[in-house]
Chain A
């Protein structure tokens, strides 16, 4: 038996009335209910096994032996990197969805760059500013149909210079909101979400903040972008240069998309925090699996409940999946011929790149959408095959055991 059980460097903070969040020294966050929080506190306060067991029995009105208490701790807490014995246990899976992360602004540099935006995220001012910017956004979207954009008079280079920095301005908003609330944050960097190149700000420590603070941090990115877009609109009014107006509209559409709750964009975190549902996507997928099993796999059927929370999780999960199916259906309908030719096009493009014979014109925008189609369908099939393979392996093992026991 190895004591003390907990390693140094764990921080525990209250998140809601019934839950707290534990941060591990390697930066993972665990959500604990009241009983688990008490267990951690007992372990921190009682470094000796007998004393800890005694305190536990007293608190929970149990009669566990020290060895049982030890076993309980291992069962519940091993693998998260908080127990001294964790080196002997397989690490529990962490949820990572951004690949090839390249941080390029350290937390200190990101904090300095975000300094001018910090006053925007003080609660009373933030509420007023956000409401005002929402009015600007809705007004802008409503007026888009009437806008007369003369494409020939657009300066494309200027447009790119105006719109592309909005991603960095967005990230600086998240960092500024963290700084204003006194929450630590990570770096700003570059990475890939699914197949999309993105700029990211690591704000994982916001799990330790209150719900209100988390919501402000979630909205800070789009607030910064809308603020920037409004500045561009003002320049347009003074200069009548249409490029600024187009940049304003593009940022509005971008913000609108960022507020959707289905990809892990800002709208996702907002929805997750507002409904007090951490790990929203995983829970929705789990719920779909549960209902699917209940309906179509009678052999694995277990009791299932249909409470309000479970119902909206199911609805959210279905909408998530529907979105993928609708996209795939539209692409098959519109770009069937290109989908068939796409593998050859990719090979040709690669060959041309190697031979340094490539031009910008070789890339058509349709390729991008077909690439998304391939990625979605590919990952869906990959998961399905993996699942079927696991199931057949399990079946083989079960029948082997059955044969051995009956033999």
Chain B
């Protein structure tokens, strides 16, 4: 008689490996504001850049 404490994954590893379950990551499609415009007080030189997220 089979020992009750033996797990099914121990005596039937091939069977257990047959079942694949993978949790999928949440899908948040997002966009960021890339623009920052600034005009300095001393002159009208504009500093413009794209803030690139990494």
Contact = CB atoms under 8 A, between A and B. Distances in A.
| A is bound by B | yes
Interface in A151-206: 151-152, 154, 156, 159-160, 163-164, 166-167, 170-171, 174, 191, 193-194, 196-204, 206
B21 A360 contact: no
B16 A30 contact: no
Contact-residue size bin, chain A (C-beta under 8 Å from the other chain)? 35 or more
Contacts, number: 184
A72 interface: yes
A368 B50 contact: no
Interface in B1-25: 2, 4, 7-9, 12, 15-16, 18-25
Interface string B19-54: 111111111111111111111110011111111111
Interface in A1-60: 21, 28-33, 35-36, 39, 60
B29 A200 contact: yes
A62 interface: yes
A76 B53 CA distance: 37
A365 B38 contact: yes
Interface in A249-265: 250, 253-254, 257-258, 262-265
B8 to A, nearest CB: 5
Given A323-B54, A327-B54, A98 B21 contact: no
A130 interface: no
B6 to A, nearest CB: 9
Contacts of B37: 156, 159-160
Contacts of B29: 171, 174, 200-201, 203, 217-218, 221, 266, 269
Contact of A30 (B9, B21, B44, B45): B21
A204 B20 contact: no
A378 to B, nearest CB: 14
Contacts of A200: 28-30
Contact of A95 (B7, B23, B30, B36): B23
A151 B45 contact: yes
Interface in A49-100: 60, 62, 64-65, 67-69, 71-72, 75-77, 80, 92-98
Contact of B49 (A166, A262, A365): A365
B34 A257 contact: yes
A68 B24 contact: no
Contact of A263 (B21, B38, B53): B53
Contacts of A160: 35, 37
A75 B9 contact: yes
A194 B54 contact: yes
B12 A204 contact: no
Interface string A272-310: 000000110110000000000000000000000000000
Contacts of B12: 62, 64, 68, 72
Contact of B53 (A31, A191, A194): A194
Contacts of B50: 250, 253-254, 257
A370 to B, nearest CB: 13
A151 B50 CA distance: 16
Given A62-B15, A279-B22, A254 B30 contact: no
A28 B9 CA distance: 26
A227 interface: no
A372 B52 CA distance: 10
Given A36-B19, A96-B26, A372-B54, A365 B31 contact: no
15 contacts: A60-B18, A71-B7, A76-B16, A97-B28, A98-B30, A151-B44, A152-B44, A167-B33, A170-B31, A193-B53, A194-B54, A199-B30, A221-B29, A323-B54, A372-B54
Interface of B: 2, 4, 7-9, 12, 15-16, 18-41, 44-54
Closest 7 CB pairs between A and B? A95-B25, A170-B31, A200-B30, A33-B20, A198-B30, A254-B34, A29-B24
